């Protein structure tokens, strides 16, 4: 059982939908097929995922906003046999190659350090993640998961929806992105854990009525600015954070995060290694079937995994490492700055240098920002270049590619 916005779907609704799928030859024998799905019917999408998983087939989720030709191109590149576009009455045949592999869920890497790539995860590995996730999540079966993020991504689908169903609770999937609507649904379900991206969580915290409080919120995907986290903690009974990657899904959960870089305790089915606080190193994840080199820089202290930066995003200034998040937190504390992103540029003579784009109501004098930074940062951490923008460019998944922002500093 689950909600999609205001519509409640029962087990009977799901069983009736399964009967429809059983009547379609493209789906009834889908155990050897890879099926791409691009539909704005969220009920249909969720039930298709459940049905195809049960049959042993493979699913390639495609974001609902993708146009037809783009969906065909994406589905083909992922090795799909069929594309369901918008409706179960529209199956597009893409390939008839033989496939006898175990069913998989195809997810895309974030693309923050280059072109996104297809990641295949077997349903058995997804089941292992869900079991471990539910065991670690400090909520009971009476706590609804309010999923205000795309269910075409593993964060929304696996952690938000499938894990909620596993623990016997009811997912509430929200496709209406209006913050006031999200707040209305939270009020209707007072015992909740809200799954959303950091930017939406912060926006909701600013719009939250004085007499209303979040029950629990979960953040993931990118490190939240510390002042956003502080605001969220003031308006929530509990703020949780999770860390993961496309290859393994969720890796760690923090049950009550106070410092934004703290990702939490590794899940029981994984072995996670990193450096210590003095000498951070690459976060490495080991499962029963693979070793994943994340290219994330972090450390483990008291069994809590902390994330510092993507290794590619770390800025080496004359042999000294600068972690963008540390500089961003200082800039975000300046009253006039609304948002900031720190990245590196190459200087032909001096090597890597720290640069920043910031959003504010109006441009701020560079000396004013520099003087603020000097109060909190070492000289090598202070940006060489401050750029005012009306909006910081983001990828379709809401993340920022620091690599794309970089260039040559003249």
How far apart (Å, rounded) are the C-alpha atoms in residues 73 and 93?
12
3-state secondary structure 251-304: EEEECCCCCCCEEEEECCCCEEECECCCCCEEEEEECCCCEEEEEEEEEEECCE
Given pLDDT bands bounded at 50, 70 and 90, which one contains residue 350?
low
pTM for the model: 0.88
The pLDDT value recorded for residue 228 is: 93
The pLDDT value recorded for residue 395 is: 75
Mean pLDDT over all residues of the chain? 92
**Cβ pair 382, 373 in contact under 8 A:** yes
DSSP 8-state class, residue 229 = H
Weakest-pLDDT range from 126-130, 220-224, 256-260, 376-380: 220-224
**Cβ pair 140, 230 in contact under 8 A:** no
**Cβ pair 145, 195 in contact under 8 A:** yes
pLDDT tens, residue by residue, 202-255 = 999 999 998 889 999 999 988 899 999 999 999 999 999 999 998 999 999 999
The pLDDT value recorded for residue 115 is: 57
DSSP 8-state class, residue 38 = E
pLDDT at 351 over 90: no
What spatial distance separates the first Cα and last Cα of the chain, rounded to whole Å? Answer: 58
pLDDT at 185 over 70: yes
The pLDDT value recorded for residue 410 is: 47
Q: What percent of the chain has pLDDT over 90?
A: 79
């Amino acid at each position: 059982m689950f909600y999609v916005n205001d519509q409640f779907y029962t087990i009977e609704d799901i069983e009736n939908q399964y009967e429809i799928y059983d009547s379609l030859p493209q789906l009834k024998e889908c155990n050897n097929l890879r099926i791409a799905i691009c539909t704005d019917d969220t009920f249909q999408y969720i039930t298709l995922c459940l049905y195809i998983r049960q049959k042993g087939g493979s699913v390639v989720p495609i974001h609902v906003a993708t146009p037809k030709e783009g969906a065909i191109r994406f589905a083909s590149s992922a090795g799909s046999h069929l594309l369901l576009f918008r409706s179960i009455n529209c199956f597009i045949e893409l390939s008839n190659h033989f496939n006898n592999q175990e069913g998989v869920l195809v997810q895309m890497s974030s693309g923050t350090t280059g072109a996104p790539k297809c990641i295949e995860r077997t349903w058995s590995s997804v089941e292992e993640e869900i079991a471990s996730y539910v065991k670690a999540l400090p909520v009971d079966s009476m706590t609804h998961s309010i999923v205000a993020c795309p269910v075409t991504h593993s964060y929304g689908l696996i952690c938000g929806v499938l894990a909620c169903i596993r623990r016997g609770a009811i997912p509430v999937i929200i496709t209406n992105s209006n913050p006031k609507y999200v707040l209305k649904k939270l009020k209707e379900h007072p015992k909740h854990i809200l799954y959303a991206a950091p930017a939406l969580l912060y926006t909701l915290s600013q719009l939250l009525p004085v007499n209303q409080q979040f029950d629990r919120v979960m953040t993931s995907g990118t490190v939240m600015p510390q002042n956003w986290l502080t605001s969220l903690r003031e308006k929530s009974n509990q703020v949780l954070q999770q860390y993961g990657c496309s290859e393994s899904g969720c890796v760690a959960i923090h049950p009550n995060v106070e410092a934004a870089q703290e990702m939490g305790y590794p899940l029981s089915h994984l072995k996670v290694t990193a450096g210590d606080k003095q000498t951070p190193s690459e976060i490495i994840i080991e499962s029963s079937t693979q070793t994943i080199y994340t290219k994330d820089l972090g450390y483990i202290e008291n069994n809590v995994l902390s994330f510092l930066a993507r290794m590619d995003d770390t800025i080496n200034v004359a042999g000294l490492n600068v972690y963008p998040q540390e500089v961003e937190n200082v800039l975000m504390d300046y009253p006039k700055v609304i948002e900031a992103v720190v990245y590196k540029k190459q200087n032909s003579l001096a090597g890597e240098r720290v640069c920043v784009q910031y959003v504010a109501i109006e441009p701020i004098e560079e000396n004013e920002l520099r003087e603020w930074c000097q109060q909190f940062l070492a000289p090598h951490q202070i940006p060489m270049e401050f750029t005012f923008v009306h909006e910081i460019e983001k990828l379709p998944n809401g993340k920022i590619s620091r690599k794309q922002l970089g260039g040559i500093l003249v």
